[in-house]
A and B are shown apart, each in its own frame.
Chain A
């Protein structure tokens, strides 16, 4: 079957099987930031934004995304021009093996899009579906707070990299 959807703001028509999961469809089309972890909705490695909200792409049928907008980490920044949240994760040392990082950053983005000044509790709730087995979360929480500051700065100055 064919579906029309937007991936990282680009309109696309994809030929998929009705039972295919979004995770597999995205990875097979080269969106390798979307990681396969538990395939049970527990680890958050496969998190993408569906109409701006984080979801576990391993549990989403690709057909469900007909006429909807998907955001993966590829849609945020590029190696030469990092998104402020990516910059904050690097600066905070919030990345070790990096497997959880795409999901962490997308969940953080969804939070900060709705709530630019979250409390510690709100950050913890927003990231409760993203497991990290390396860093112990402290730097990740710091990175989200730093990202919030950088994003505010970007809004003021229009500097995409957050005044790097």
Chain B
């Protein structure tokens, strides 16, 4: 890879100035694992965000603010996430790649360049995260549904970077779970599902379910959420929701498995994920 310049800006303002100066020839490095693989045409320089003040996790009134350059491993190590929405963020992170890679891959990098098997977009869609982007002139916020409606990276190229991911405040009436189906524990997902259930007075008042690796972008399973909302959860209700959810996807084949195979495992995976989230309420009451 022929690169002439490598910059490590100490703040976001300097990073934005460098990106402006380099025009299209300067590429952002967050964790660097994607950039190390790819050999972008016309790359002249790298703007390394690892020391630009975007590596943090802060609990605030409106939720948990995560700097875009925070490594994925922090979702496992930071005690804020051990019981957050039933530990769903930790489960998603533990299912993402391997320990050495989790120390490199950043949370912002993982959501900006979505691969078919990416875990964190599915997680953040289920949690209803918000995304704060910054340009030289202003900050702009995106809701998860909008952020993941197309590949996020191309939208951010014009002098705008992802600054922060904002997760909702923990809600003790809600529990979530994340499940990945893959050939080995550390392999890429053939399908992955995240589900968050809100249960008040024995009734499911809200549900957010997202699936990944089924289509090029992660998607919400709105119809399955509708089955669960306002229902008293039983095994039967959950099975129905899983079937309805699976019917709403048209899985893409990839080089490892057929679309038919994915279609057949989807209801089982969605059901297992919902049951895993549901069981966490029972544990609390035990």
- Report A's interface with B, CB cutoff 8 A: 1, 17-19, 21, 40-42, 44, 47, 50, 53-56, 58-61, 63-64, 66, 107, 125-130
- How many A-B pairs with Cβ below 8 Å? 81
Instruction: Determine the chain B residues whose CB is within 8 A of the CB of A41 once the complex forms.
Output: 33, 36, 97-98, 100-101, 104
Whole-angstrom distance between the Cβ of A55 and the nearest chain B Cβ: 5
Contacts of A129 on B, CB cut-off 8 Å? 97-101, 186
- The answer to whether A19 touches B32 (Cβ under 8 A) is no
**10 A-B pairs in the complex with CB atoms less than 8 angstroms apart:** A18-B3, A19-B2, A19-B3, A19-B6, A40-B37, A50-B103, A55-B100, A55-B103, A59-B101, A107-B100
Number of interface residues of B (CB under 8 A): 27
Given contacts A66-B8, A128-B186, contact A18 B45 (CB under 8 A): yes
B interface residue numbers (CB < 8 A to A): 1-6, 8, 29, 32-33, 36-37, 45-46, 48, 50, 73, 94, 97-101, 103-104, 185-186
Q: Which of chain A's residues have a CB closer than 8 A to the CB of B100? A: 41, 44, 47, 54-56, 107, 129-130
- Residues from chain A with a CB closer than 8 A to the CB of B48 are 61, 63-64
When distances are taken between beta carbons in the complex, the residues of chain B under 8 Å from A66 are 8
Which of A61, A126, A128 sits near B32, CB closer than 8 Å? A61
Chain B residues closer than 8 Å to A56, beta-carbon distance: 33, 100-101, 104
**Closest CB in chain B relative to A73 CB, distance in Å:** 15
Do the beta carbons of B32 and A64 come within 8 Å of each other?
yes
Q: With a CB–CB cut-off of 8 A, which chain B residues contact A61? A: 6, 29, 32, 36, 46, 48
Residue of A nearest to B99 (CB): A129
- In the complex, the answer to whether B45 meets A125 with C-beta atoms within 8 Å is no
Residues A58 and B36 in contact, CB atoms below 8 Å apart? yes
Instruction: Report whether B32 and A54 are in contact in the complex, using a CB–CB cutoff of 8 Å.
Output: no
B156 CB to nearest A CB, Å: 21
| Chain B residues with CB below 8 A from A55, complex form | 100, 103-104
A125 to B99, CA, bound (A): 7
* Closest residue on chain A to residue B33 by CB atoms: A59
- In the complex, what's the smallest C-beta–C-beta distance from B185 to chain A, in angstroms? 7
- In the assembled complex, which residues on chain A have CB atoms less than 8 Å from the CB atom of B98? 41-42, 44, 128-129
* Interchain nearest-CB distance for A145 vs B (Å): 18
Is A64 in contact with B50, judged by CB distance below 8 angstroms?
yes
A47 to B99, CA, bound (A): 10
Q: Please give the distance in Å from A67's CB to the nearest CB on chain B.
A: 9
Residue among B4, B5, B37, B99 facing the most chain A CB atoms (10 A cut-off): B99
In the bound complex, CA of A44 to CA of B6 (Å): 26
- Pick from A18, A53, A130: contact of B4, CB under 8 Å: A18
Closest 6 CB pairs of A and B: A129-B98, A19-B3, A63-B6, A18-B6, A19-B1, A129-B100
What is the chain B residue whose CB lies nearest that of A56?
A: B100
The CA of A50 and the CA of B101, in the complex, are separated in Å by 12
- List of B residues within 8 angstroms of A17 by Cβ: 3
- Smallest beta-carbon distance A130→chain B, Å: 8
A56–B32 Cα distance when bound, in Å, is 11
The answer for the CA separation of A126 and B99 in the assembled complex, in Å, is: 6
In the assembly, what is the distance between CA of A105 and CA of B99, in Å? 14
A44-B100, A129-B100 are known contacts; what are 9 more A-B pairs with Cβ within 8 Å? A1-B6, A54-B99, A55-B103, A56-B101, A63-B6, A63-B46, A64-B8, A64-B32, A64-B50
Known: A128-B186, A129-B99. A59 touches B6 (CB 8 A): no
